[in-house]
Amino acid sequence: MDRSERFVLLASGAVMLGFFAALIYAAIGLGLSVPTCVSVAPFTTGQVIDRGGQRYEVHLVAKMWAFDPPEIRLPTGADVDLYVSAQDVTHGVYIEHTNVNVMAVPGAVNAARVRFATPGTYTMLCHEYCGIGHQNMAGKFIIGAAPPAAVASAGAATAAGADLFVQKGCVACHSRDGAPGVGPTLKGVLGRHETLADGGSLVVDEVFIRQQLRTPNATLIKGFQPVMPALPLTDAELEALVEYVKTL
Amino acid sequence: MTTAIPPNPVDRGATVVELDATTRRVVLLLLCIPTVLLTLGIYHGLMQTLYRAGIIQSSAVLGLGYYQGLTLHGVINALVFTTFFEVAFGYVILAYFLRCQFAAAWTWSAFALMLGGTLLAAAAMLSGHASVLYTFYPPLQASPIFYIGAAALVVGSWIPFFQWIAAYRAWRLANPGKKTPLAVVGILTTFTVWLMATLPLAYEVVVLLIPWSLGLTTTVDVVLARTLFWFFGHPLVYFWLLPAYVMFYVMLPQLAGGKLYSDGAGRLAFMLFIVFSCPVGLHHQFGDPGISAGFKWFHATLTFFVALPSFATAFTLAASLEYAARARGARGWFRWWGALPWGDASRFLFAYFMAGLLLFLFGGITGIINASAPMNALVHNTSWIPGHFHTTVGGPVFLSFLGMTLFLVAQLTGKPVRLPRLNLWVPYLWLLGVALFSTGLSVAGLLGEPRRTNLGLTYANAASPLFQPAWSPWSQLTAVGGVIMSLAMLAFFVVFFATLFGRRRNAPALALPVAEAYLDEDFAALRNFTPWVAAALALLLIAYAPPIYSIVSGSAQSMPGYDPSSPVVVP
């Protein structure tokens, strides 16, 4: 082996050693490491637990295509132990401006630790493909802001429907503000004239909303694919959703 | 523009070898079929950049959905095109350097399995029953046809390897004491890595996924399936890269007008790839739950070792190029770069190789960043990752495969390359396109933009509450890059089909550019594969037995299947 080759092999080995030393420093000195096994069993209910002294435990459920809870409000300086469970398929959890970037894999719980030192809204998004609603799967951490005053006017059924709209994943495909999506937006849906895929047309009423929830693709709106699942809903859940959708 | 040139004037005086009829026919089919399919793969690449820039704000165009197109893009470009090409290239290299012939029945059965598998998978993807991306992470569930097709493609690609091993052993017996040609060492290395990597993949697909998608089993262990996939998924990268290295070591120095600086360095690099290619897959799973951090760190460390042969290659290639330039009378510390045949249409392979290598400078460095466990949180699953691999598999690998496809089709049909000036534009346009495209993806990734996401519906849509204006300029730069890459490919397809459907001018025959070695030492330790393969297997056992044992014995729950379009379990 000639001299320059020997030099190059040694030099590149030294470069890699230098990089590696930097990694060890990052892991030990700065505490930046990778997720490991935790002894928490998979869960299906999202919750925020106040452990006292600015410490919070967040149980986050990732599912097609929403996070539960979708919105987490914490005071500035909160130290969060985040546990992540996937309910159906593989998802990801990325929280902007933090080092939280973990996978949510069915069958095992992931964990991350993060301190929210600066007030503000941190978008949390799913960064692993999880089906056609993937691009809608996002939530947020709202740090250091007072909770909004409860909306008193909303009826109990409507409020329950609003929760179901997120929990059941409707939100993934149907926007509530007119934005386009996999399915039609539900903004102002009651009384809207719709053209159907078969060329017919109709005016959306309560009966039609109920029918679409029970037998999703029996009547197809023009320009959309027949991909809506028939969700297993109780009668009470169905009525709550209908009441809520009517108010949009 | 239409002046025809002989296919390979570089090597007047080079050895000419004729392939036997079956091998020639199968090689041509293996080269042409994926090039036709590539039109679909490239179209969906372009479309993704438009969706992601918010130029298209819809879930589908022309009846093909975003994620369906993303699946087609990944499977066709990264699995079908590469595997078909590499099998064809392997036949060419073995036949050219060892003068061997292959049993027609085995060659045709390999081809039939690969083509049949590809057609099955394509049918499943195009009919919308396999929009699960090329990583097919369960519990997303595709049609069994998709998994069966993928398995047939892989198994079909094993057959040629066994034909080549037999040919290589026969050659060794007939030529005692002779050094195996470097190109042959490279191809056997490639497929050794492929076999080691695809065995766990075959287990995942055949044992876990096919029965599950047929309904014979109800659930699948997701953590185990992911681990088996990445056991395959990283060595896959070297399966792509190694044939390009064969071209760079064996052909590039000759095309540049010089010699390979060191033959031994090439052999050492290949043997190190055998040892270190496979036991590194957990660096794709740094963010996964259910796998101990200790195992992840071990794989991170081993990944650093696999960078060594690439460092050595960078040196050897640069030294070979400098040798060639100085042989052409160039002077100065840096001015010699200008003396290389950048614009020589008759040596178009040089331009294809060099444009790819320039991209690979960035691909190599970003790869080391990705392997660095603590930095994972910054880049994992963001658009930084496709920004990285379009400068590796989309750089040196894709360009060298593309150039070699054209080169071999021209030689094996006896039809000179048409539109040679236009052909020369392909690699440089592609280089420019990827540079812009990857810059956009990388910066947006650091800002938090996810990969594999139809941004046009939400994050790149001003009407959506999720709109992220900070990502927009970078997504738009990515789209500009994507358009330029597509123009390069348009030029390539024009040249390729004009050549293929042009008139035959010479008898079909192979004459490859082959470089002599400047330093041609003979290291006894590099003469046999056996000790290196044994070391590789031992290291694999150490790196993978403990994590797989801990997953299998500790995994809490297996999952039923989900269709990508519904949050309800597949009945």
State ipTM. Answer: 0.91
Whether a cis peptide bond, with omega within 30° of 0, leads into B139 is: yes
Domain count of the fold of chain A: 2
Q: What is the mean pLDDT of residues A157-169?
A: 78
Whether residue A161 contacts residue A245, with contact meaning beta carbons closer than 8 Å, is answered with: yes
Which of the four pLDDT bands, split at 50, 70 and 90, describes residue A210? confident
Q: Are residues A62 and A125 in the same domain?
A: yes
- Between CA B463 and CA B304 the distance in angstroms is 45
**Which of the pair, B4 or B474, is modelled with greater confidence?**
B474
Any idea what the Cα angle at residue B420 is, between residues B414 and B423, rounded to 5°? 110
What confidence score (pLDDT) does residue B556 get?
61
Q: Are residues A193 and A234 in the same domain?
A: yes
What's at B456, amino acid-wise? G
Contact: B458, A136; criterion CB under 8 Å:
yes
Residue where the block lists tokens 């179901």: A164
Contact: A110, B289; criterion CB under 8 Å:
yes
Which among B286, B459, B568 is the nearest to A229, CB-wise? Answer: B568
pLDDT reading at A205 higher than 70: yes
What confidence score (pLDDT) does residue B4 get?
39
What confidence score (pLDDT) does residue A235 get?
82
What confidence score (pLDDT) does residue A173 get?
78
Contact: B463, A178; criterion CB under 8 Å:
yes
- Domain membership of residue A17 (yes or no) is no
Of B60, B57, B47, B14, the closest CA to residue B347 belongs to B14
Contact: B223, A105; criterion CB under 8 Å:
yes
What confidence score (pLDDT) does residue B103 get?
95
What's at B488, amino acid-wise? A
Residues of chain A contacting B464 with CB distance shorter than 8 Å: 175, 177, 179
A64–B contact, CB cutoff 8 A: yes
- Average pLDDT of chain A is 87
Whether residue B285 contacts residue A22, with contact meaning beta carbons closer than 8 Å, is answered with: no
Maximum distance among all Cα pairs of chain B, rounded to whole angstroms: 72
- Domain membership of residue B369 (yes or no) is no
Of the residues A9, A38, A89, the best mutation for testing chain B's interface (the one with the most B CB atoms within 10 Å of its CB) is A89
B-contacting residues in A 96-135 (Cβ below 8 Å): 96, 99-111, 123, 125-135
- Domain membership of residue B108 (yes or no) is yes
What confidence score (pLDDT) does residue A148 get?
64
B518–A contact, CB cutoff 8 A: no
Q: Closest chain B residue to A175 measured between Cα atoms?
A: B464
Which among B296, B451, B457 is the nearest to A34, CB-wise? Answer: B296
Contact: B556, A41; criterion CB under 8 Å:
yes
pLDDT reading at A54 higher than 50: yes
Q: Are residues A127 and A69 in the same domain?
A: yes
Which of the four pLDDT bands, split at 50, 70 and 90, describes residue B56? very high
pLDDT reading at B81 higher than 50: yes
Sign of the dihedral defined by the CA atoms of residues B293, B299, B302, B303, in that order:
negative
- Between CA B485 and CA B394 the distance in angstroms is 10
Q: How far is CA B497 from CA B76, B89, B405, B481, B503, in A?
A: 19, 20, 12, 24, 12
Q: Closest chain A residue to B297 measured between Cα atoms?
A: A34
What confidence score (pLDDT) does residue B555 get?
59
Q: What is the mean pLDDT of residues B149-174?
A: 97
What confidence score (pLDDT) does residue B21 get?
93
Which among B290, B308, B563 is the nearest to A108, CB-wise? Answer: B290
The residues of B carrying an active-site annotation are 234, 238, 388-390, 451-452
Which of the four pLDDT bands, split at 50, 70 and 90, describes residue A184? confident
pLDDT reading at B1 higher than 70: no
Q: What is the mean pLDDT of residues B284-299?
A: 93
Q: What is the mean pLDDT of residues B410-436?
A: 97
**Which of the pair, A151 or A221, is modelled with greater confidence?**
A221
What confidence score (pLDDT) does residue A149 get?
58
Q: Are residues A210 and A130 in the same domain?
A: no
Which of the four pLDDT bands, split at 50, 70 and 90, describes residue B9? very low
Of A36-50, B9-23, B358-372, the one with minimum mean pLDDT is: B9-23
Contact: B455, A135; criterion CB under 8 Å:
yes
Q: What is the mean pLDDT of residues B367-375?
A: 91
- Domain membership of residue A139 (yes or no) is yes
Contact: A180, B457; criterion CB under 8 Å:
yes
The H-assigned helical ranges of B277-373 are: 293-327, 348-371
B381: CB partners within 8 A, 6+ apart: A92, A94, A101, A103, A127, A128, B287, B450, B451, B452
A-contacting residues in B 282-321 (Cβ below 8 Å): 285-294, 296-297, 300-301, 304-305, 307-308, 311-312, 315-316, 319
What confidence score (pLDDT) does residue B540 get?
95
- Domain membership of residue B430 (yes or no) is no
A49: CB partners within 8 A, 6+ apart: A56, A57, A58, A59
Task: Put residue A217 in one of left, alpha, beta given phi > 0 → left and psi -120 to 50 → alpha.
Answer: alpha
Q: Are residues A163 and A137 in the same domain?
A: no
Residues of chain A contacting B559 with CB distance shorter than 8 Å: 88-89, 106-107
What's at B135, amino acid-wise? T
Q: What is the length of chain B?
A: 571
B360: CB partners within 8 A, 6+ apart: B391, B392, B395, B396
Which among B305, B559, B568 is the nearest to A107, CB-wise? Answer: B559
Domain count of the fold of chain B: 1
Q: What is the mean pLDDT of residues B266-293?
A: 94
B-contacting residues in A 184-213 (Cβ below 8 Å): none
- CA distance to partner chain A, nearest, from residue B455 (Å): 6
Q: Residue A179: which domain range?
A: 156-246
Which among A94, A108, A136 is the nearest to B289, CB-wise? Answer: A108
- Domain membership of residue A240 (yes or no) is yes
Q: Closest chain A residue to B140 measured between Cα atoms?
A: A89
Q: What is the mean pLDDT of residues B17-21?
A: 91
Q: What is the mean pLDDT of residues B160-174?
A: 97
Of chain B, the percentage scoring pLDDT greater than 90 comes to: 87
Residues of chain B contacting A111 with CB distance shorter than 8 Å: 289
Q: What is the mean pLDDT of residues A169-194?
A: 81
pLDDT reading at B5 higher than 50: no
Residue where the block lists tokens 């042989």: B327
Of the residues B133, B288, B370, B383, the best mutation for testing chain A's interface (the one with the most A CB atoms within 10 Å of its CB) is B288
What confidence score (pLDDT) does residue A181 get?
72
What are the tens digits of pLDDT across the range B317-353? 999 999 999 998 999 999 999 999 999 999 999 999 9
pLDDT reading at A183 higher than 90: no
What confidence score (pLDDT) does residue B152 get?
97
Of B421, B424, B360, B365, the closest CA to residue B395 belongs to B360
Of the residues B70, B447, B466, B467, the best mutation for testing chain A's interface (the one with the most A CB atoms within 10 Å of its CB) is B466
Contact: A94, B448; criterion CB under 8 Å:
yes
A229–B contact, CB cutoff 8 A: yes
Of the residues A16, A83, A127, the best mutation for testing chain B's interface (the one with the most B CB atoms within 10 Å of its CB) is A127
A-contacting residues in B 5-44 (Cβ below 8 Å): none
Q: Residue B89: which domain range?
A: 16-178
Q: Are residues A230 and A188 in the same domain?
A: yes
pLDDT reading at B3 higher than 50: no
CB atoms within 10 A of CB B39: 13
- Domain membership of residue B41 (yes or no) is yes
Residues of chain A contacting B290 with CB distance shorter than 8 Å: 37, 105, 107-108
Whether residue A222 contacts residue A192, with contact meaning beta carbons closer than 8 Å, is answered with: no
Q: How far is CA B201 from CA B151, B154, B204, B386, in A?
A: 9, 9, 5, 22
Of chain A, the percentage scoring pLDDT greater than 90 comes to: 39
Between A and B, how many residue pairs show a Cβ–Cβ distance under 8 A? 252
Contact: A229, B461; criterion CB under 8 Å:
no
Q: Are residues A170 and A110 in the same domain?
A: no
- Between CA B10 and CA B412 the distance in angstroms is 16
What are the tens digits of pLDDT across the range B439-475? 999 999 999 999 999 999 999 999 888 999 999 999 9
Residues of chain B contacting A96 with CB distance shorter than 8 Å: 448
Which among B289, B312, B374 is the nearest to A35, CB-wise? Answer: B289
Return the SS3 of B559.
Answer: strand
CATH of the domain at A134: 2.60.40.420
- Between CA B98 and CA B106 the distance in angstroms is 18
What are the tens digits of pLDDT across the range B223-251? 999 999 999 999 999 999 999 999 999 99
Neighbouring C-alpha atoms within 13 Å toward the C-beta of B72:
27
pLDDT reading at A179 higher than 80: no
Contact: A127, B451; criterion CB under 8 Å:
yes
Which among B285, B556, B564 is the nearest to A132, CB-wise? Answer: B564
CB atoms within 10 A of CB A126: 28
- Between CA B389 and CA B162 the distance in angstroms is 30
Residue where the block lists tokens 């590039």: B252
- Domain membership of residue A4 (yes or no) is no
CATH of the domain at A213: 1.10.760.10
pLDDT reading at A172 higher than 70: yes
Residues of chain B contacting A181 with CB distance shorter than 8 Å: 59, 457-458
Of A29-43, A213-227, B519-533, the one with minimum mean pLDDT is: A213-227
pLDDT reading at B8 higher than 70: no
- Between CA B66 and CA A203 the distance in angstroms is 30
Contact: A34, B382; criterion CB under 8 Å:
no
**Which of the pair, A28 or A148, is modelled with greater confidence?**
A28
What confidence score (pLDDT) does residue B514 get?
94
Which of the four pLDDT bands, split at 50, 70 and 90, describes residue B2? very low
Q: Are residues A162 and A241 in the same domain?
A: yes
Contact: A138, B466; criterion CB under 8 Å:
yes
Contact: A65, B567; criterion CB under 8 Å:
yes
A-contacting residues in B 438-457 (Cβ below 8 Å): 448, 450-455, 457
The token pair that represents B467 in the structure block: 């709109």
Q: What is the mean pLDDT of residues B210-235?
A: 95
What confidence score (pLDDT) does residue A165 get?
84
Q: How far is CA B384 from CA A12, A49, B376, B441, B459, in A?
A: 25, 34, 11, 6, 16
- Between CA B240 and CA B245 the distance in angstroms is 9
B59–A contact, CB cutoff 8 A: yes
- Domain membership of residue B550 (yes or no) is no
Q: Which helix (H) or strand (E) holds A45?
A: none
- Average pLDDT of chain B is 93
What confidence score (pLDDT) does residue A195 get?
87
Q: With 0-12 CB in 10 A as exposed, 13-18 as middle and 19+ as buried, what is B548?
A: middle
